[in-house]
Every structure is written in C-alpha cells, then in structure tokens.
Amino acid sequence: MKNSSLLYLLLAFSACSSPSTSSSSNDENEAISYQTVGSVDRLEQELDLFISENAKIEVIASGFEWSEGPLWLADQNALIFSDVPTNKIWKWTEKDSLGLFLEPSGYLGTETNKKEPGSNGLTLNADGELILCQHGERRIAKMNASLSDPTSDFSVLVSDFEGKKFNSPNDLVFNEAGQLFFTDPPYGLDDWNTKELDFQGVYRLDPDGSLNLLLDTLNRPNGIGLSPDGKTLYIAQSDAQKARYYAYGLDGEGNVLSGKILLDATESVGTQLPGLPDGMTVHSSGTLFASGPGGVLVISPDGKHLGTIKTGQGTANCAFDEDESYLYMTADAFLMRIKMK
C-alpha cells in the first residue's frame, strides 16, 4: 500500500501549515498518543529480533520541506534534524515537542534562489561539538557554540579538494580514531553554481587536517556508515539505475582495501516504493538501517534484506536514540519513529 488515508490528510495539513507535532493528549501527565502510518514488511525472521510484530510507525512532527540528518543528543534527550530547503535545523523532544534549533544552518550568503541551502548530515565529534555538512556553503563545518545555546557561528573544517571546491557534502561519520568520512554528491548545487570537481567523491578527513580521497567511482554517493568495529565503510548510492548499498573493507589507517555491492535495490525503485538509497545508521549488532525504496531497509552485515519499515514517503535518513529503543526517521515532510525491541 503506497499511502494510507491518514497520510494523505497529513500531507494536506503539512502543505499549508508550519512544522508541528501531533498529539492527542492535553494532560502533561498523560502519555502522548501520536498518529500512526505505514507498515513493516517482514522478509526474514531475524527482523523480529529488532522490531516487534505490534510496533507502529508514529508521526511525531510534520510540515517540513525535506527533513534530513537526524542526530540524537543524549544529554538533552532530544533529536535534532535538518530541513535542507529552508536552511534550518529543528529540535524535537518528547517533553517540549518541536522547536527551532538553528537558522541559518548551511548557507550564510544572500542568494535567495538556492534549492538546497541548508545543512544536511549532522554528527558530533569526540568533544561533543556539532559537525555539519553545509550544502549551501559546500563544506564541512563545526558550530562554534554549545548545543544548549546554538548560534550560526561556524569554523570551516574542509571546503575543497586539491584547490577545487566540493560539490555539496551530504553525510558524514566519525570512527573512534577521530577520522571523519563523508560523501560529496552534487545535490546542493544550483544552476548558477560552478561544479569544480568532475567526480562525486567519498573522503576521509584526518584529525591533523589532511584530506584523503577514498573513492571517485560512484555516481551518487550519499548516506554513509561504519560497522561497530570500524573495519567496514558502508555507502548508499542514490542512483535510480544503480540503487545500491556498498560495503568497503578498511585497513587500520582508514584506507579502502576492497569493496563489494552489499545489496542491490534497483529492481525495487518505482512509484509504489518511493525513495532511493540515502542516509543510514548502523545498529550496535552491525545491522544496517538504511533508507531506500519504500522507507527504511533493514540489512544484515552479510547483505541479507531482513525487511522494510514502510513509511509511505521518500525517506532520507534515520538515527537511533542513545539506547536504541527508538529508530527516528526523516521522511520528506515528516519526522517519524518506530519502537525497537
């Protein structure tokens, strides 16, 4: 089923309203009840280890243009995420609902005709500082403010490769050694931007500031993740003709040793299953939760497709909270979540 009738109502609501959180409770001591959508398509019994049969997909906020880059802030018990076209980062908590976290988030200039000016992927470094993929500025940056008092003051970590400006850095992940891996597809470029690189790269930025090109052969590298042991780098390719998830073996220095197609989802691409391989998160068990055709695909480390969390929307990214009790999903105009076992 592509969409439920409730989802159509939510779409109509979000098209004419500012971002909002849906709740059926007015009593702060009463549990909040959210509207639910979609379903879970179970392909393998192993999925039951992660998601119970009665788990529901909850819509906890709506009204965004394209939500992306979810990141859990454990010290605030909060989720922040990008709304790329509006150049904003939003913050959601169970207690306080939805509020603006940061604006502008990815573009600090004066042009008004940019399609995707905002931040995209978000992460924290070892010091708990916010690191952003800034589409509009075409760079990786650090916010020079605390998470409790955010401001649009940034330091540039890296903005070019061999003197040529990046396309539009999209997603990023740190390993335990403090090396930052990120992708650089062209989605944030506008017609009036100059594309300076003739490839779409996957890079590694080392703590000493040195930048290393790891891959230049993927057409649309997008989401990125690391296995729990840091030895496998996962890349999602958002290409309708080659909608794939790749796994690359890494050596102790973070260099690519080998690569393979972990899962090819090209045959699933279509109007009945909206979306392409995009952002991902890796469970502590090593299982991938990766956005793609239909919603979020659950993929074992050996490439078995265990099932799909079918949101009914083009789904950009996902992230767990601190103890992996919920999976949060940025799905087009919506912020959703599902309870984990």
DSSP string, 295-314: EEEEE-TTS-EEEEEE-SS-
| Of 94, 87, 116, nearest in space to 186 by CA | 116
Distance CA 5, CA 182 (A): 38
Identify the weakest region by mean pLDDT among 17-26, 220-229, 268-277.
17-26
Whether this prediction's pTM lies above 0.95 is answered by no
Omega of the bond leading into 301 within 30 degrees of 0 (cis): no
Q: Is 87 annotated as a binding residue?
A: no
Give the list of residues 6+ apart from residue 128 with CB closer than 8 angstroms, or none: 75, 147
Q: Is 170 annotated as a binding residue?
A: yes
Coil, helix or strand at residue 5:
helix
Q: Is 222 annotated as a binding residue?
A: yes
DSSP class of residue 216 equals -
Split at pLDDT 50, 70, 90, the class of 12 is: very low
SS3 content of the chain, % helix, strand, coil (to 5): 5, 45, 50
- Residues marked as catalytic: 278
Q: Is 54 annotated as a binding residue?
A: no
Q: Name the residue ranges covered by the structural domains of the chain.
A: 1-17+33-61+280-341
Q: Determine if residue 231 is left, alpha or beta; phi over 0 gives left, psi from -120 to 50 gives alpha, anything else beta.
A: alpha
292-337 pLDDT, tens digit per residue, is 999 999 999 999 999 999 999 999 999 999 999 999 999 999 999 9
